Amino acid sequence: MELRNDDNFDTFFSYNIFGRRGRNFPSFISQVVPKLLSADKVTVTVKTLPAEGRPPHFNGAVGRYGIEGALDKEETHAGDAVTYRVRVFGEGNINTVQTPAFPKLEDFKIYDSSSSTHISKENKKVEGEKVTETVIVPKKAGVFTIPALSFAYFDPEDKTYKGIKTTPRILSVKPSEVADSAALPDLSEPSSPEEAESGDLAVLSRDIRYIKTADDGKRVATGLLWNPFIWPLNLFFLVAAAFLTAMSARKTDEAREKNLFRMRRSYGVARGRLKTAASLMAKGDGEAFYAEISKAVYGYFGDKLGVPPQSVSAGLVEERAGDRADPRRISDVKALFNELALRRFGKETVEESREMRNIHSIASHVIASFEKAGFK
């Protein structure tokens, strides 16, 4: 708190127009006196959620919610990717809401899900939506049903648990357009009718020949070598080592396949998000527009570089591009990243619509140019 002298002469010639005393304003004209202010206490009563009527799949969501589930396409080919999108929306703490997990389906490869959250606090209410996208790849042709996903929440107004479900979705899968690799011969079948009748096994190759024993036929005991328990133990360790090696190779192949899949679909996903951003731009929703543009840009480069979107930066893109990259393209990326940071966290201006069109044009150009150059 600041106290000032009420003398008119001193006030006229010595008052600090910036509202505080500086080095050139003496203490007898104005002085600062510290004063401690405190707000009234507020009591908050927190009640526990009732155990009666609690659904087994309840994950702690409190509020009033709705749920939607949809496929990005209803017809596809075996081996092609399909995105299943779950949207939970409504009033409540949307940040802590857990969307229903996608079920395990034997006829599909299921990849890790990605989530996005949009929250608004208008009219003193916290509301919004959480969207989870799961990529699934059908293994074979047929007509499949994506089952309904259940979601439970506690309604504080009605003081009851409520359950909602998505609508089951039908996916029609046609045979793959890519020819399968040549099948390996089935060695379990006999190679000739004679073998089938006799039941004999055909010798495909010989590796280990007859081992000649000692002339005297005597065995020399050498400690553990002839222990009756050592051979089963060695066999166990051999099988365990083979199993662990196979599992490690499988995980490595799955990770490589997942990264390759993300890299291939990155451009298509980015174009879809740019299209969504264009519709948000038409509605004049600047906050949602810049959030969707950021997902398109950071998601595209994250998939190409094999890193999470939050780890993407202009410096990382420049480093991966190497010395052979076009300097103008690198300059465009740096300008785009800087512009996104300024626009997303800056204040809205009267020329917001024109700025959004400019950002959308730059983002589309940068992504298209890097895709054309084969960036990875």
Q: What is the pLDDT of residues 100-116, one digit of tens each?
A: 999 999 999 999 888 89
> Percentage of the chain surpassing pLDDT 70?
72
Whether 16 shows a pLDDT value over 80: the answer reads no
Listed residue (83, 142, 137) closest to 105, CA to CA: 137
Name the residue with tokens 């959250």: 117
Residues in the chain: 376
Structure tokens at 105: 């389906």
Task: Please report, to the nearest 10 degrees, the dihedral formed by the alpha carbons of residues 195, 200, 204, 205 taken in order.
Answer: -150
Query: Greatest CA span in the chain, whole angstroms?
Result: 130
Structure tokens at 284: 């004049």
Instruction: Round to whole Å and give the CA distance between 314 and 320.
Output: 10
The average pLDDT across 85-111 equals 93
Whether 161 shows a pLDDT value over 50: the answer reads yes
Query: What is the model's pLDDT at position 331?
Result: 86
The average pLDDT across 228-254 equals 81
The average pLDDT across 136-157 equals 95
Query: What is the model's pLDDT at position 5?
Result: 52
Query: What is the model's pLDDT at position 265?
Result: 83
Instruction: Round to whole Å and give the CA distance between 191 and 253.
Output: 34
The average pLDDT across 161-188 equals 74
Dihedral over Cα of 361, 362, 367, 368: its sign: positive
Q: How far is CA 97 from CA 89, 116, 157, in A?
A: 10, 11, 18
Q: How confident is the model at residue 185 (pLDDT cuts 50, 70, 90)?
A: very low
> Percentage of the chain surpassing pLDDT 90?
33
Q: How far is CA 116 from CA 22, 71, 86, 123, in A?
A: 49, 17, 11, 23
Whether 135 shows a pLDDT value over 90: the answer reads yes
Q: Do the Cβ atoms of 105 and 136 come closer than 8 Å?
A: yes
Q: What is the pLDDT of residues 35-58, one digit of tens each?
A: 888 889 999 999 899 999 999 999
- Indicate yes or no: pTM above 0.75: no
Q: What is the pLDDT of residues 299-319, one digit of tens each?
A: 988 888 888 888 888 888 888
* Backbone angles phi and psi of 77, in degrees to 5: -115, 155
Q: Do the Cβ atoms of 68 and 166 come closer than 8 Å?
A: yes
Domain 63-174 carries which CATH code?
2.60.40.740
Q: Do the Cβ atoms of 276 and 285 come closer than 8 Å?
A: no
Name the residue with tokens 């708190």: 1
Query: What is the model's pLDDT at position 80?
Result: 93
Q: How confident is the model at residue 225 (pLDDT cuts 50, 70, 90)?
A: low
Q: Which residues pair with 136 in a beta bridge?
A: 82, 110
Q: Is 106 helix (H, G, I), strand (E, B) or coil?
A: coil
The average pLDDT across 357-362 equals 89
Q: How confident is the model at residue 68 (pLDDT cuts 50, 70, 90)?
A: very high
Which has more confidence, 275 or 371? 275
Instruction: Round to whole Å and give the CA distance between 343 and 85.
Output: 28
Q: What is the pLDDT of residues 18-28, one digit of tens each?
A: 444 444 444 44
